[in-house]
Structure 1
Amino acid sequence: MKWPAVSLTFLVLFGCANNTVEHVEQPDSVVKYQENLTDPVRFANLYPGKKTYPTTCTENCYPPSPLLACESPAENCRFTGQQTPPLLNTGFNIRWLGHASFYIENPDGTSLLFDPVSDQFDWPVNWAFRLSEGFNRRQGTWPTESEITNTDAVLYSHIHYDHFNKDDIAQVGSKAEYFVPLGFAEHFPQDGYRINEMTWFSSKSLGELNIHFVPAHHFSSRIWVPFLYEDNNTALWGGWVIEHRGQRLFFAGDTGYSQHFSDIQKKYGDMDVCLLPIASYFHEQDGEWYRYVHTTPEDALTAAQELNCKVMIPWGYGNASWKMGDHSSHSALLRLLNMHQEMKSDIPLHILNEGEAVVL
């Protein structure tokens, strides 16, 4: 692979308005670009090409579970099993808001929002999806007004509509600091936001935290007309490692399975808490492509093993999900519970319902 030259962190003013954008890049940062596509620049995954998956469930993947109470099979379910969180003493207070959104209170007193999307997609995609039965979501569990206005930082994994909503930026406001992938800042309104654009394996401190941006195996686009190519992959995508005094929380973002999980572990060490996606991996017409960019539950369990997670918290399922990519929003959780046993995984799971929190 041929990597472009990197430079030390520098400060730029973005555009002609008053957002401040810092481009964060260290000498060992990594960015991969698509070949022969320079206008505009487009990014690429670290490990493209056909995938070989260590484990694949092929039959009886969604057996009923006594740990779920469902209004109908695999629909409108809540996790009701008894579970005791592992005593990790990290001090991370983790609240799942629904889909990919998390509110994290850290040991140093700072608070973070991951991929906050409180309601539907931004206009006009929200309007278009209302015409498609089953794609609208119930409103997620949103933090209190005080928590929102006092959030210290917001971290986005990529610009897809179900992970980045401009209405929520307006709610959080410009008091918070924003951490985003490279090429992301141009999607912000010009209203005094402090934005850190990160390359893969770049880092910046916030209070006592070290915030590391890490690879994912995915893609990006922000257009609302499907299959147009104008802005495909012009913004980077990835996940986040939050480190406090040697203890680490990993948020994967949307991702398929690839060698990047092992790369992250080699770079930063074992992960204490892993927030991993388990849904949107299946579509009857194009299942192979969906899995290429979204982990199945068994892929997520394999990733947790490669990251040496001390506990795995799944996300992507739930009653406030958009039901993308699967027959129902909860079949992914059924498959996870089943495959955790089938694979004899020694990674502890901690299952949350939307709005629930756990201190680890």
Structure 2
Amino acid sequence: MQRSTTMSSRAFGIGLGWLKTTRGSMPIYCMGAIASVTAYYLISDQWIDSRRRLFIQKRKTQQQQQQDVASVQSDSRFSSLMIGGRFVNPFETWRDKTLWDFLRWVATRKTGNGLPRDKAKLIQDLPLALPHYELLNAFSHPTKVRQTPTSSSSSQESLAENSESPLCYAEYPAVESLDRLATMTATWLGQSTCFVQMEGLNILTDPIFKRRTVYSWLGPERLRPVPCQLEDLPVPDVVLVSHNHFDHLDIDVVRKLGDSVTWYVPLGLGSWFARQGVSNVREMDWWQENELTVRDRTFSIVATPTQHWSGRNGLDSNCTLWSSFLVKGKESSVFHCGDTGYCPAFEEIGRRYGPVDLAILPIGSYEPRWYMCHQHVNPDDAVLIHRDLGARRSIGVHWGTFMMSDEHYMAPPRDLAAASEKRGLAADEFIAPQFGKTYLYGPAMTGSSASE
């Protein structure tokens, strides 16, 4: 780090000296300042990447020298890694993107994503359903129940635009006949936001209910409105946050829920929550386990590795960790992935904690592959993760919500179907769910979901 700091300071000093000689010209002054800052970050990034590669090689060498079972269980190749005050990906499958990579993508990217001008076509392709409120409330503790919404604008729009919504659950068994401790529900609300119930525990993942990703006026806009509002759902017990990107962490949700829920977040993110006045937060490193007891039932929540990055502005890149989460109960388990590129960590997660009953895996934002492959899986990669985890069932998320890449808006479900067939998966083993629809899974995930 000393060498990097020295080189960066020298670059900054050269830029500053040049500025002193040209201080009469504001345009040149600004160019000099930009050049100095750019040089600093380029040198710093190169130093961090070189150190990252050295650490990876060192970990590989150490692992090759370890033979006993205990050392394999604590395989350092899959531990989080921080260099120069920033977290880095400790996998050979990762490559940092440069400014030139970004400019090349912007200059060559496709536009439109095949989105139709006719709104009716979009409604047909991406229909909304209302969650099965009766079921969700029945599976919740009485203190967590919400009243079934009757005046929600999003709910009214859902019913008006999707006449099949009232019939979505016609084939479901009667709610009172279901064993709430042996049955799981999963409701996808867009992007990576899911409401999951397992063994009486209400789980919310990567919450975002905004119309746009950043502010009401800034960021990509939803293709379809959110199927319901946060206030329509039973109150969560826990919220799992995989990383702090705007499309995975909605500050309005944080302020609404506050300390009424337990937030599970990666290392470094607790201070951001503290600034929002929230203290009921559990910061977790990769492989760290935390026990949670809710209404006399104990759950194990494990933070597990992914290959991604973090940041909410240009100055905090990778200052906080990113992770996936595994929630294990007595009867079942749920894996929430968040964003990731494909890497060997998932095979290790499966080896330690598999098989997983239900996996929530991303299948969108993957084109062009040369630019996205290190940070976002495509459907074929997602199927590989499904198999690595030994997942009995998976649902594909992170598509059809905010368009932030180049693939056609309906490519993810089509590509998932093709990848599943190629890999020999059953038709309902890995699905691209409908917005808002509550999916019901049987005991131990051995049979078909009642909703298929």
TM range (shorter): 0.7 to 0.9
| Counterparts of 1:165 and 1:73, CA distance in 2 | 25
1:316, CA displacement in angstroms? 1.5
Aligned position for 1:66: none
Aligned position for 2:311: 221
Q: Which runs of 5+ in 1 are unaligned?
A: 4-26, 52-69, 130-134
- Whether 2:285 is the aligned partner of 1:199: answer yes
- Whether 2:217 is the aligned partner of 1:127: answer yes
SS at match of 2:259: coil
| Counterparts of 1:290 and 1:144, CA distance in 2 | 31
Amino acid at match of 1:349: F
- Whether 2:400 is the aligned partner of 1:308: answer no
| Counterparts of 2:393 and 2:286, CA distance in 1 | 24
SS at match of 1:157: coil
Aligned pairs for 1:320-339 within 5 A: 321-339=401-419
Amino acid at match of 2:308: H
**Higher helix proportion, which one?**
2
CA 1:73–1:103: 2 relative to 1, 3 Å = closer
What TM-score do the two structures reach when normalised by structure 2? 0.59
CA 1:77–1:183: 2 relative to 1, 3 Å = same
SS at match of 1:293: coil
1:167, CA displacement in angstroms? 0.8
- Whether 2:126 is the aligned partner of 1:77: answer yes
Give 4+ residue runs of structure 1 displaced > 6 Å after superposition: 27-30, 82-85
The answer on whether the counterparts of 1:277 and 1:314 sit within 8 Å (CA) in structure 2 is yes
Say which is worse superposed, 329-338 or 293-302, in terms of deviation. 329-338
Aligned position for 1:141: 227
| 2:319 paired residue among 234, 239, 252 | 234
Tell me how many residue pairs correspond in the alignment: 295
CA 1:34–1:235: 2 relative to 1, 3 Å = same
Aligned pairs for 1:19-58 within 5 A: 31-35=79-83, 37=84, 41-49=85-93
| 2:251 paired residue among 151, 166, 186 | 166
| Counterparts of 1:237 and 1:197, CA distance in 2 | 11
The answer on whether the counterparts of 2:93 and 2:374 sit within 8 Å (CA) in structure 1 is no
| 1:105 paired residue among 197, 204, 217 | 197
| Counterparts of 2:86 and 2:245, CA distance in 1 | 16
The answer on whether the counterparts of 1:161 and 1:222 sit within 8 Å (CA) in structure 2 is yes
Aligned position for 1:357: 438
The answer on whether the counterparts of 1:94 and 1:102 sit within 8 Å (CA) in structure 2 is yes
SS at match of 2:406: coil
Larger RCO (CA within 8 A; separation ≥ 6) = 1
| Counterparts of 1:343 and 1:312, CA distance in 2 | 14
1:31, CA displacement in angstroms? 4.0
CA 1:171–1:192: 2 relative to 1, 3 Å = closer
Aligned-pair RMSD on alpha carbons?
3.1
| Counterparts of 1:147 and 1:173, CA distance in 2 | 16
Amino acid at match of 1:314: G
Percent of residue pairs identical: 25
| Counterparts of 1:336 and 1:191, CA distance in 2 | 41
Q: Which runs of 5+ in 2 are unaligned?
A: 1-55, 60-73, 96-118, 129-163, 173-177, 442-452
CA 1:272–1:193: 2 relative to 1, 3 Å = same
CA 1:335–1:111: 2 relative to 1, 3 Å = same
Aligned position for 2:29: none
Say which is worse superposed, 153-162 or 344-353, in terms of deviation. 344-353
**Higher strand proportion, which one?**
1
The answer on whether the counterparts of 2:198 and 2:332 sit within 8 Å (CA) in structure 1 is no
Aligned position for 2:335: 250
| Counterparts of 1:203 and 1:338, CA distance in 2 | 36
CA 1:168–1:266: 2 relative to 1, 3 Å = same
Amino acid at match of 2:395: I
SS at match of 1:168: helix
The answer on whether the counterparts of 2:80 and 2:305 sit within 8 Å (CA) in structure 1 is no
Q: Return the index of the structure with the highest Cα Rg.
A: 2
Amino acid at match of 1:77: L
1:251, CA displacement in angstroms? 1.0
SS at match of 1:173: helix
1:176, CA displacement in angstroms? 0.8
